[in-house]
Structure 1
Amino acid sequence: MGQARTRRRLVAVDLFAGVGGLSLGFEQAGFDVLAAVEYDPVHAAVHKFNFPLTEVICRDVRNISAADVRRAAARGWRLHRRSGPAWDGLVDVVVGGPSCQGFSTMGRRDREDARNDLLLEFVRLVIEIRPRAFCLENVPGLLEERYAPLRESALKQLEAAGYSITGDGKPVNAANFGVPQNRKRVVILGVLDGEVGELVGHAEAVSVGEALSMLPDASAITDLVETDSVSALSAPMVDWVPGASRYARVMAGLEVDPGDRARPRYWDRSVLTNSRLTLHSEETKRRFSQTLPGTVEPVSRFFRLPLDGQARTLRAGTGRERGAFTSPRPLHPVRDRVITVREAARIHSFPDWFRFHVTSWHGHRQIGNSVPPLMARAAGNAISAALGAAPSRVKKELPLGDPCLLSLSMAEAAKHFGADVSELPAQRTRRSAAQKV
């Protein structure tokens, strides 16, 4: 684009934010996320805990305007910069992953699924807000021929608004960006009055064993049957890889990642969080013990993670508006149980300071719905380069939010945000994907 490179931190808005996989990745790329939109109050509360300087709008995106987003972003600007000039109103990037179940190859694909129209809501807000760039994430099914009219309508509107676009040709795999998980996603990038390069990952592969190294053995901590967090100072440490991998040391906050420009968080490294155990019968554990890494246990259909390879795509299941369906969780590579939320977070490239809801159901769903931060960071770096930026680092540690935000029920979280009840996810009967195990 020809402009001089600037050291200022760029600003972002996250639509369909969930708990913040895209938010974190773009923050790691040097963006300050001023505002986030998320209609599920439980997810919104978790986002607010992890990003206390971000103004969270707990609304259905179909019912908000660009003016609503800009007002929230102005409040977020002041939270990030308590002194200094007022916000000039410029949004550098709008990011988002519109709900994708209608396109998903893992569920029942439906061209008539109303959630497919959320793609056009993303387009609407990008055009109205007119950021310098955008990042749109979705499942590979979006590229199928059956969705060509919707996809082409969305991209043509963005191109007509002046955005040059890349990434609409084929999916990218999170494993190529250093995520220990094979997870293919479409990542479409657009820039006003310029060009952005294709998102290409060349990171060295990280294995499940490397990702989980250094984590205490949750199976040996009996308190984790009743709670999701304990002091881990005296817990036995896992030793299935020789020493701690660099990936694990970075996730644990014991080694600085030179590519991470996120505001450092202040957190208690002595506490093991989001590690509540799932109870299994003795018969179930016997079957799990006979399941080799990289294979599927025939009764439960749970996949046992390999130590020396990558995980399969971590799945979210469905929200309560779609029956609260729980996706099968992977089996731990060496323990005869399913993985904990913290172990799933490691496999998804969330650092250990990042917290999820205290219940396993919400926690696993929040991870499965998120963009792996390392992949999101790569997208942020590509946009930052296209905008001629070299964002500065922030050294001052940022305290996390109120821990009470991590245990709110849907009703409690809705009350916290003053959410419109008519916009909340509708309640249906909760179901489990697991067979009797």
Structure 2
Amino acid sequence: MSIPSASVRLTRPVAVDLFAGAGGMSLGFEQAGFDVVAAVEYDPVHAATHAFNFPQCEVLCRDASKLSAADVLGAAERGFKRLHPGVPWPDQLDALIGGPPCQGFSSGGKREQDDERNDLLLHFVRLVEEIKPQTFCLENVAGLLETKFDAIREKAFRRLRAAGYALSGTDKPLNSLNFGVPQSRRRVIVLGALGETAPARPAQSDGQVSVEEAFEGLPSPSAYVQLLTSDEVELRTADIARRSSIKSAYARTLAGIDPLPGDKSRPRLWDPSYLTGSRRTTHTEETVERFAATELGAVEPKSRLYRLPLDGPSRTLRAGTGSERGSHTSPRPIHPREDRVVTVREAARLHGYPDWFRFHTTNWHGHRQVGNSVPPPLARAAARALLASLGHAPVALRAASPLGEETLLALSRTTAQAVVDALAEELPATRTRKPTVPTPAEKPTEAQAG
């Protein structure tokens, strides 16, 4: 057995996730070996979902633009003491991570130069300047590198360098396809470390994963009438057996059959005999006929929904918008074998989430949470690059941790606000204009609304 060099620390580095959403970045960093002790998320529904999946993490439901360094470090100290009772708080962060809301830079939107959400990029920079973590990871859409955003982007990078950080990833985006995710998703990943040596770029994976491989072992939701009113169901014996015989290495790890190579996250206690995140969407007969006539990899002309291929990856999953931007429904792709849109669980498989990871029980919130998040395998690769800069080789954890209370996954916005102690003056403002009406293909049942 090799003995670690004196420069390698076997402790787990400490991170805080800003703009955390449901927790894609948190999960990837935890899998790499970080202790994500606190998460900041201003949407109370998403904050509650994060609390379910990371019950030992301190979740701060706040607007990051209004946070001070003391606020963030205070939350980090509370989360650290919860994870490590009796251990002195180190009073510093190894990493500050996060993806500021990117719709102002996104190719899926209008790329508005004056979108107020663009300023959140500079609030991330401000908190890095004030907290001075050893490293940071800043994620955003590829549109951030467009010429029209030169001024705000270069201002951000200039300030980070002036604060003493060496940067990598400022010149071109990465594609999640190259990190074991069956989805084309181009993202800018800027890594920074204090000192003169920039972190290495995240290491890519060999080979690519197809939609067919990603979906292997998932039963058809149409076989379970319970999924018309619930997002979970106990699997029949035949479906449990089919799940256990998955051949795809990608699907076997997400289903929990095989361990994820190099996984250093806290094992979760969960019941794999249940299918979750699979609430059905009902379609009209006319919609089903249109879906049936749509070839794999093609776009259905009326709804403009894309039909997934079997032998290749998915296009980028989109999130739609929250109440502060008009409550637009996310465009969900059409299943490659069935004439319906995909479930939240199927979208999660296309993103690299393990099957134990849960999302809000409604389709609207659930798909937003997946589509807004960083694919965990991409976050994991970024985290491993930062570990090299930190000189850490964290050990794997063996003790399993329970998940949170399932009631956290079904909260309305108002109820979630009370549960996560959100400040009313910092909540997303509800836009008063009439939201876009979903197409028949996307329109949820009454049980799915929310």
Q: Same fold (TM over 0.5)?
A: yes
- Matching of residue 434 in structure 1 with residue 435 in structure 2: no
Residue 122 of structure 1: aligned partner: 124
Q: Is the 8 A contact 2:37 2:76 kept in 1?
A: yes
How far apart, in 2, do the equivalents of 1:78 and 1:86 lie? 8
Deviates more, 1:250-259 or 1:338-347: 250-259
- Matching of residue 407 in structure 1 with residue 410 in structure 2: yes
- Please report how far the alpha carbon of residue 388 of structure 1 lies from its aligned counterpart in structure 2 after TM superposition: 1.2
- 1:158 maps to which of 153, 157, 160: 160
After superposition, where does 1:251-290 map in structure 2 within 5 Å? 251-290=254-293
How far apart, in 2, do the equivalents of 1:266 and 1:238 lie? 20
Give the ranges of 4+ consecutive aligned residues of structure 1 lying more than 6 Å apart after TM superposition.
237-240
SS in 2 for 1:185: strand
SS in 2 for 1:331: coil
SS in 2 for 1:102: coil
Residue 349 of structure 1: aligned partner: 352
How far apart, in 2, do the equivalents of 1:81 and 1:200 lie? 31
- Matching of residue 199 in structure 1 with residue 199 in structure 2: no
After superposition, where does 1:225-264 map in structure 2 within 5 Å? 225-234=228-237, 236=239, 243-264=246-267
How far apart, in 1, do the equivalents of 2:413 and 2:365 lie? 11
- Please report how far the alpha carbon of residue 195 of structure 1 lies from its aligned counterpart in structure 2 after TM superposition: 2.4
- Please report how far the alpha carbon of residue 233 of structure 1 lies from its aligned counterpart in structure 2 after TM superposition: 3.2
Residue 139 of structure 2: aligned partner: 137
- Please report how far the alpha carbon of residue 292 of structure 1 lies from its aligned counterpart in structure 2 after TM superposition: 1.2
Which string of whole-angstrom CA distances, capped at 9 and with x for unpartnered residues, describes residues 265-291 of structure 1?
Answer: 001111100100100111211111111
Residue 333 of structure 1: aligned partner: 336
Deviates more, 1:287-296 or 1:109-118: 287-296
After superposition, where does 1:29-48 map in structure 2 within 5 Å? 29-48=32-51
How far apart, in 2, do the equivalents of 1:310 and 1:233 lie? 29
Deviates more, 1:420-429 or 1:253-262: 420-429
How far apart, in 2, do the equivalents of 1:235 and 1:185 lie? 40
- Matching of residue 383 in structure 1 with residue 356 in structure 2: no
- Matching of residue 393 in structure 1 with residue 399 in structure 2: no
How far apart, in 2, do the equivalents of 1:436 and 1:332 lie? 12
Q: Is the 8 A contact 1:13 1:95 kept in 2?
A: yes
- Matching of residue 309 in structure 1 with residue 312 in structure 2: yes
- Please report how far the alpha carbon of residue 109 of structure 1 lies from its aligned counterpart in structure 2 after TM superposition: 1.1
Which string of whole-angstrom CA distances, capped at 9 and with x for unpartnered residues, describes residues 278-320 of structure 1?
Answer: 0011121111111111111111111111111000000001111
SS in 1 for 2:59: strand
Q: Is the 8 A contact 1:217 1:236 kept in 2?
A: no
- Report the CA distance shift for 1:20/1:436 in structure 2 as closer, same or farther (over 3 A): closer
Q: Is the 8 A contact 1:16 1:37 kept in 2?
A: yes
- Report the CA distance shift for 1:113/1:320 in structure 2 as closer, same or farther (over 3 A): same
Q: Percent of aligned positions with the same letter in both sequences? A: 55
How far apart, in 1, do the equivalents of 2:188 and 2:52 lie? 28
Which string of whole-angstrom CA distances, capped at 9 and with x for unpartnered residues, describes residues 49-82 of structure 1?
Answer: 0001110110111111110111111110111112
- Report the CA distance shift for 1:295/1:413 in structure 2 as closer, same or farther (over 3 A): same
- Matching of residue 90 in structure 1 with residue 95 in structure 2: no
- Please report how far the alpha carbon of residue 336 of structure 1 lies from its aligned counterpart in structure 2 after TM superposition: 0.6
- Please report how far the alpha carbon of residue 237 of structure 1 lies from its aligned counterpart in structure 2 after TM superposition: 7.2
TM-score, normalised by the number of residues in structure 2: 0.94
Q: Is the 8 A contact 2:231 2:361 kept in 1?
A: yes
- Matching of residue 167 in structure 1 with residue 169 in structure 2: yes
How far apart, in 2, do the equivalents of 1:346 and 1:62 lie? 32
- Report the CA distance shift for 1:31/1:151 in structure 2 as closer, same or farther (over 3 A): same
- Report the CA distance shift for 1:235/1:420 in structure 2 as closer, same or farther (over 3 A): farther
Structure 2 unaligned spans of 5+:
443-450
Q: Is the 8 A contact 1:326 1:434 kept in 2?
A: no
Deviates more, 1:347-356 or 1:230-239: 230-239
Q: Is the 8 A contact 2:203 2:385 kept in 1?
A: no
Which string of whole-angstrom CA distances, capped at 9 and with x for unpartnered residues, describes residues 148-195 of structure 1?
Answer: 110011111100111000001011000100000000000000011132
How far apart, in 2, do the equivalents of 1:436 and 1:375 lie? 31
How far apart, in 1, do the equivalents of 2:183 and 2:300 lie? 19
* 2:99 partner amino acid: G
Q: Is the 8 A contact 1:304 1:330 kept in 2?
A: yes
TM-score, normalised by the number of residues in structure 1: 0.96
Q: Is the 8 A contact 2:227 2:233 kept in 1?
A: yes
CA RMSD of aligned residues (A): 1.7
* 2:120 partner amino acid: L
How far apart, in 2, do the equivalents of 1:374 and 1:202 lie? 10
How far apart, in 1, do the equivalents of 2:270 and 2:241 lie? 22
Q: Is the 8 A contact 1:29 1:380 kept in 2?
A: yes
- 1:102 maps to which of 76, 101, 104: 104
- Please report how far the alpha carbon of residue 9 of structure 1 lies from its aligned counterpart in structure 2 after TM superposition: 0.6
- Please report how far the alpha carbon of residue 435 of structure 1 lies from its aligned counterpart in structure 2 after TM superposition: 6.1
Q: Is the 8 A contact 1:327 1:432 kept in 2?
A: no
Which string of whole-angstrom CA distances, capped at 9 and with x for unpartnered residues, describes residues 80-105 of structure 1?
Answer: 1124x211112100001001010011
SS in 2 for 1:164: strand
Q: Is the 8 A contact 2:246 2:252 kept in 1?
A: no
Q: Is the 8 A contact 2:283 2:440 kept in 1?
A: no
